[in-house]
């Protein structure tokens, strides 16, 4: 595809959202070029926990997080941290987050998140079948564990919300947990198992497979950093590090860097970066039978084809700070305490940038400056989970079809 014959759509971002959207657009007969500053699966899409967390409908912004945040923030290596030097810059975002924790806003966000989760779940397996990746899907569930009666009871209102939305789960005592996942430390006395929590064999392998499928279907992928978008009379000029390209329409799915691109269209979208950390251990490090979530400590342990991954936590530190791998080491030490049989030798640490909006909902919709630009970013730690659903919605927006769910709660302009 030459500049004289521009593609119907340029997708900015070769992560799981961008590539899924590109494939959905190709399925509707549009020519597509994907541009990415590093190439496919280079960011958070490669190093996440590999979960399709369809039961995770409660927004991060909630009264519960407000109760726990002060204790967490006191630990610089704990589940939630803000580097002191970055605190002044993130203050406006934190104020929006605090406002999003109001009960009525949480209720509305939960309803919107549930709609997107249900739609994403319903579209997932057809998308995997269409892209030849269904063999990578696993349905091992998730075990959320609690330290004592008090922590378990504090979680029950959240489970009632899930029950009200028809999500299946089972509460377990210590014996029930041991039957499901042997080897948990006795400090964990209660647990809840959600069978509807799926996973992918390995997120990087999956995203690279999507890239290969797109190329096979005639789509193009190029490495270039997009620095600006300029609406034109008949499309969009895409300014990149390798020159200017043109397309009829553009989809911005550049993850944590998306707000910088939106700013060139005159929009200030309050996107922040959840810097997530993990360590991937060799495959034999633990006999792990289901994903285990240590919610009180903000991390999970998950089984991938590439090994056992221990990761999570939130460091709100922006795009430019170097990684602090002490956070990975701290989680690994905790994981060894919580799962004494875990062999922590031979691990590979990683840090990724998860794009997060204050109300825990992504931005899915047209740009204010032009309907020829569609935004699809801000999924936080749910990008993989919501990728198939978001791809379908993006294809609807680009082609002018009626979206399957109400997109008003996801409007990129909702923060004005």
Where do we find the tokens 């020159």?
A: 243
> Per-residue pLDDT averaged across 250-264, rounded?
98
Given a cut of 50, is residue 2 above it in pLDDT? no
When pLDDT is cut at 50, 70 and 90, the band that residue 54 belongs to is very high
Q: Each residue of 200-224: pLDDT tens digit?
A: 999 999 999 999 999 999 999 999 9
| Cross-strand pairs, 337 | none
Q: Where are the beta strands (DSSP E) in 20-135?
A: 32-36, 51-52, 80-81
Give the whole-number percent of the chain exceeding pLDDT 90: 89
Averaged pLDDT score across all residues of the chain: 94
Where do we find the tokens 């204790």?
A: 71
Where do we find the tokens 């005159």?
A: 266
Q: Each residue of 221-236: pLDDT tens digit?
A: 999 999 999 999 999 9
> Per-residue pLDDT averaged across 354-365, rounded?
96
When pLDDT is cut at 50, 70 and 90, the band that residue 71 belongs to is confident
Q: What is the model's pLDDT at position 70? A: 73
Helices (H), 191-256: 203-216
> Per-residue pLDDT averaged across 152-163, rounded?
95
Give the whole-number percent of the chain exceeding pLDDT 70: 98
As a whole number of angstroms, the distance between CA 357 and CA 320 comes to: 18
In Å, what is the CA distance from 358 to each residue of 44, 136, 211, 295, 367? 19, 32, 30, 20, 19
As a whole number of angstroms, the distance between CA 359 and CA 357 comes to: 6
Burial of 212 (0-12, 13-18, 19+ CB in 10 A): middle
As a whole number of angstroms, the distance between CA 320 and CA 95 comes to: 22
Q: What is the model's pLDDT at position 81? A: 86
The residue ranking higher by pLDDT, 313 or 358, is 358
> Per-residue pLDDT averaged across 274-294, rounded?
95
| Tokens (6 digits) for 9 | 């759509």
Q: What is the model's pLDDT at position 4? A: 60
Phi, psi of 112, rounded to the nearest 5 degrees: -70, -45
Q: What is the model's pLDDT at position 72? A: 72
> Per-residue pLDDT averaged across 350-364, rounded?
96
> Per-residue pLDDT averaged across 295-312, rounded?
94
Q: Each residue of 388-397: pLDDT tens digit?
A: 999 999 999 9
Q: Each residue of 80-130: pLDDT tens digit?
A: 888 888 989 999 999 999 999 999 999 999 999 999 999 999 999 999 999
Given a cut of 90, is residue 73 above it in pLDDT? no
| Tokens (6 digits) for 10 | 């340029």
Any idea of the CA torsion for 276, 390, 199, 121, to the nearest 10 degrees?
140
Given a cut of 50, is residue 300 above it in pLDDT? yes
Q: What is the model's pLDDT at position 74? A: 63
Least confident of 114-128, 316-330, 333-347: 316-330
When pLDDT is cut at 50, 70 and 90, the band that residue 330 belongs to is very high
b/e sequence 95-128, b meaning 16+ C-beta within 10 Å? ebbeebbeeeebebbbebbbbbbbbbbebbeebb
The SS3 call for residue 294 is: strand
When pLDDT is cut at 50, 70 and 90, the band that residue 180 belongs to is very high
């Amino acid at each position: 595809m030459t500049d004289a014959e521009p593609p119907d759509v340029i997708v900015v971002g070769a992560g799981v959202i961008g590539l899924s959207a590109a494939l959905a657009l190709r399925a509707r007969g549009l020519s597509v070029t994907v541009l990415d500053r590093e190439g496919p699966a280079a960011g958070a899409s490669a190093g996440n926990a590999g979960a399709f967390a369809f039961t995770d409908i409660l927004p991060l912004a909630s009264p519960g997080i407000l109760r726990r945040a002060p204790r967490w923030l006191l630990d610089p290596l704990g589940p939630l941290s803000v580097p002191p030097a970055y605190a002044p810059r993130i203050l406006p975002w934190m104020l929006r987050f605090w406002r999003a924790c109001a009960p009525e806003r949480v209720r509305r966000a939960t309803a919107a998140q549930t709609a997107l989760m249900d739609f994403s779940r319903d579209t997932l397996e057809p998308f995997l079948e269409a892209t030849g990746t269904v063999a990578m899907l696993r349905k091992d569930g998730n075990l959320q564990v609690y330290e004592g009666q008090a922590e378990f009871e504090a979680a029950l209102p959240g489970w009632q919300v899930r029950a009200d939305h028809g999500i299946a789960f089972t509460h377990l005592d210590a014996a029930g947990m041991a039957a499901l996942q042997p080897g948990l430390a006795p400090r964990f006395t209660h647990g809840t198992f959600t069978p509807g929590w799926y996973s992918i064999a390995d997120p990087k392998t999956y995203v690279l497979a999507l890239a290969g499928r797109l190329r096979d279907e005639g789509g193009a992928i190029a490495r270039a950093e997009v620095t600006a978008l300029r609406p034109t009379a008949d499309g969009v000029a895409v300014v990149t590090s390798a020159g200017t390209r043109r397309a009829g329409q553009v989809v911005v799915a550049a993850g944590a860097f998306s707000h910088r691109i939106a700013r060139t269209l005159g929009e200030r979208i309050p996107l922040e970066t959840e810097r997530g950390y993990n360590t991937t251990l060799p495959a034999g490090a633990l006999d792990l039978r289901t994903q285990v979530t240590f919610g009180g400590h903000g991390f999970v342990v998950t089984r991938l084809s590439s090994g056992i991954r221990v990761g999570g936590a939130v460091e709100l530190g922006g795009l430019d700070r170097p990684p602090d791998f002490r956070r990975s080491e701290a989680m690994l030490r905790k994981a060894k305490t919580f799962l004494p049989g875990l062999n922590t030798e031979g691990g590979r640490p990683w840090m990724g940038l998860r794009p997060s909006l204050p109300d825990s909902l992504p931005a899915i919709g047209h740009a204010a400056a032009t309907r020829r630009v569609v935004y699809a970013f801000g999924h936080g730690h749910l990008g993989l989970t919501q990728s198939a659903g978001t791809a379908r919605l993006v294809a609807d927006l680009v082609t002018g079809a009626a979206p399957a769910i109400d997109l008003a709660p996801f409007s990129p302009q909702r923060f004005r």
